[in-house]
Structure 1
Amino acid sequence: MKLCIGTVQFGMDYGVFDAPKKDPEYCIKCLDFATQNGINAIDTATAYGTAEEITGRFLAKKTIEREKLFISTKLLPNIMDAVEPKDYVKVIRCNLQKSLDTLHTDYVDTFYFHSSRYAFKPELLEAIAVMKKEGLARNVGVSVYYPDEALACFENSNINYIQAPYSIFDHRMREEDVFGQGSKAGFNIDVRTVFIKGLIRLRDSEVPDHLGKARPILRKLDVLCKETGYSRIELAMGYVRREMTINHLVFGVRSLEQLKEDIKSFNKEIPESIFDEIDTEFSGIDADLVVPSLWVK
């Protein structure tokens, strides 16, 4: 498993408190540091505000060879809803080409549908596969939210990649054998929401009222940290890193300092016995806490 820089925070307000996006030059500085320190994967999307543009500015500098990078982007959510089937390929190609122009590259390594329900639409999956045949994308797939969406993808040979949520508090993909089934189907899997939109980073007093039921769970995690000597971030990244079938752990960057610390945390070796305890102690947490799209303020 490798790390992948998630760029949503570069292009728009994001996080538990919708933290303001960063200055573009600062974001490029973070990408420079990441690629100079062993991270070659970058995840972006049309829906992430100016993130594609910032990523494109970084790529245009050519401080690292394009072939050494793994760039992923996503089609605008829901954009295919009003499109006639006969126009699927044309609309997908047109939008992907816009992304390629913005990114200053002639292909992406993975191109996703950003609407998870498209996992259940074989005709759309067939259409996005054309982008792979035409060389505009080396892999194609769907960014999913729920195990049933991931499992539906595995039944379709037109695609070969998914991005899914997975964290120390969200075991749904593991419990439903998504990783095992994906591996058997020959799929590549990246995971996101490892810090649950920054929730895992918050002190007790910083947790907003609408996420109040996270406080006792975070306190329980702090007890485990004290008992084992590992930080929250080390345990959160280590728990995900343990799953050998995952290609990339996608994580956001709030600051260069945080990026440096996260790289160190990712490389920390943690005993399997601690992960077994996490499997027991943090199983079955409500989806409306671990799935940010379900948060109600």
Structure 2
Amino acid sequence: MPTRSNPSTTPSRYLWRKRQGRHLLHWSSPLQYANLGRTNLRLSVLGLGTVQLGMAYGWDQQPPPPDDCVIKLIRRALELGINYIDTAAEYGRSESLVGRAWAGLTCRPVIATKLSIRDPDNAGLLTGQALRQSVEQSLRQSLQRLGVDVLELVQLHSLDTRFATPELLELLAQYNQRGWVRYWGVTTYGEEAPLDALDHPELICSMQIPYSALDRRMEHKVIPCAQALGTGVILRSIFLQGILSHRLDSLPTELADLSPLAAPLLRLAQDAGMDLAELALRFAAFASGAHSAIFGTTSVSELEANIRAVEAGPLPPDLVAAVRAIEVEDSALLNPGNWRLSTP
């Protein structure tokens, strides 16, 4: 398991320091921190996802909050010790709002963004001049929207097949050499894409993968291989788009099959004196081999509740064992891409 530190027991405070000519965040917070694999990016155990802050998102397609509320939420996350913000060019206004949120601060947190290498005209990946133009344009726009001079971590977005061609790897390395990008990562579905990324540890430094108390498939092969290579592991979908939270009670009829999957976890949580979201959060945040777990919210009170939950530390071993005893027979139900919903 990654070595995590707890810099201080003083809550809701953060300090700044300079190191190697760069302003870096140094936290005084109850949250724990870990280096992202072999990089020198030190991430909080929780990262703030921002997709629902920039666009309508989720099975109910809730619209994002007003801009001033988004900026307030991001800054509150920073005050409470979260130093890792996850965004993407495809998340509507997310990048621009993240850039505005940190603009008045002495220094920025670790901001990870994403770019797509998918061909919009077919199901394949971009190649040749189209690939080069798309990557250059996406990076330029992200630099501008985020208001930074270098992108700390750029992740190739939503890959589910092998992707690491010599042409692509050479192109990514050029942006390291030009000083535009410090580290490259990937966000993936399934096993094929992350295992392909692990074949190129000299360039691909991190992977963002789906993982939750119900969806533990990546811990069988992908996470152990990443650990062995020193590749950073970031977890997402830890609440399974709200299924593992209070929103379980308000699922649409099209998702009725998901309710029985979460019911055993809900009973475990109730028996342990906690709500389902706390159980799901603490299970994922302290998963072996992971460096940070992303959650998303549009509510400051929910943000604060999540941070309080993770400050309680890992779940008791007997509760972890009970969670692991729960198996989902039809793993296709765990992929939101397979959910078929009526248009709101």
State the TM-score, normalized to the length of structure 2: 0.79
Superposition map of 1:48-59 within 5 A: 48-59=91-102
Aligned pair partner of 2:218 in 167, 173, 186: 173
Distance 1:203 1:60 in 2: 34
Q: Secondary structure at the match of 1:161?
A: strand
Give the Cα separation in 1 of the matches to 2:126 and 2:163: 16
1:72-99, CA deviations, whole angstroms, 9 ceiling, x for partnerless residues? 1111362585744256445312310111
Question: What is the CA-CA distance between 1:112 and the residue it aligns to?
Answer: 1.0
1:170-212 residue CA offsets vs partner (Å, 9 max, x unmatched): 011012x211110111211111111111121245541111111
Give yes or no for contact 1:129–1:159 (8 Å, CA) kept in 2: no
The residue number in structure 1 matching 2:4 is none
Query: What is the Cα-based RMSD across aligned positions, in Å?
Result: 2.0
The answer on 1:94 being equivalent to 2:137 is yes
| Counterpart selection for 1:217 from 246, 255, 261 | 261
SS at match of 1:199: coil
Higher helix share: 1
Partner of 1:46: 89
- Note the 1:136-151 alignment, pairs <5 A: 136-151=180-195
Query: Does the C-alpha gap of structure 1 residues 181 and 26 become closer, same or farther in structure 2, counting only changes over 3 Å?
Result: same
Q: Which runs of 4+ in 1 moved over 3 A?
A: 79-84, 86-91, 202-205
Contact map agreement 1:191 1:250 (CA 8 A) in 2: yes
> Does structure 1 conserve the Cα–Cα contact (< 8 Å) formed by 2:51 and 2:296?
yes
Tell me, in whole angstroms, the C-alpha distance in 2 between the residues paired with 1:82 and 1:188: 24
Letter of the 2:245 counterpart: R
Letter in 2 for 1:296: R
Match of 2:226 among 179, 182, 199: 182
Aligned partner letter, 1:126: E
The answer (yes or no) to whether the contact 2:117–2:135 under 8 Å persists in 1 is no
What is the number of residues matched between the two proteins?
292
Q: Give the secondary structure class of the aligned counterpart of 1:57.
A: helix
* In 2, Cα distance between equivalents of 1:221 and 1:84: 44
1:114-134: per-residue Cα shift (whole Å, max 9, x none)? 140464332323322322232
Deviates more, 1:37-46 or 1:265-274: 265-274
Q: Which runs of 5+ in 2 are unaligned?
A: 1-33, 35-44
* Mapped contact 1:171–1:284 kept (Cα < 8 A): no
Letter in 2 for 1:59: W
CA contact (8 A) 1:140 1:160 kept: yes
Q: Secondary structure at the match of 2:306?
A: helix
- The more displaced of 198-207 and 220-229 is 198-207
- TM-score of the aligned structures, taking structure 1 as reference length: 0.91
Q: Tell me the percent identity.
A: 28
Structure 2 CA distance for partners of 1:30 and 1:77, relative to 1, 3 Å: farther
SS in 1 for 2:59: coil
Alignment of 1:60-209 (within 5 A): 60-61=103-104, 63-66=105-108, 69-76=109-116, 78-79=118-119, 83-85=126-128, 88-117=131-160, 119-123=162-166, 124-156=168-200, 157-175=202-220, 177-209=221-253
Q: Distance in 2 between matches of 1:195 and 1:155?
A: 29
Question: Alpha-carbon deviation of 1:148?
Answer: 2.5
2:18 aligns with none
User: d(CA) in 1 for partners of 2:158 and 2:262?
Assistant: 30
1:236 shift after superposition: 0.6
Displacement of 1:100: 0.6
Look up the equivalent residue of 1:230 and give its one-letter code: M
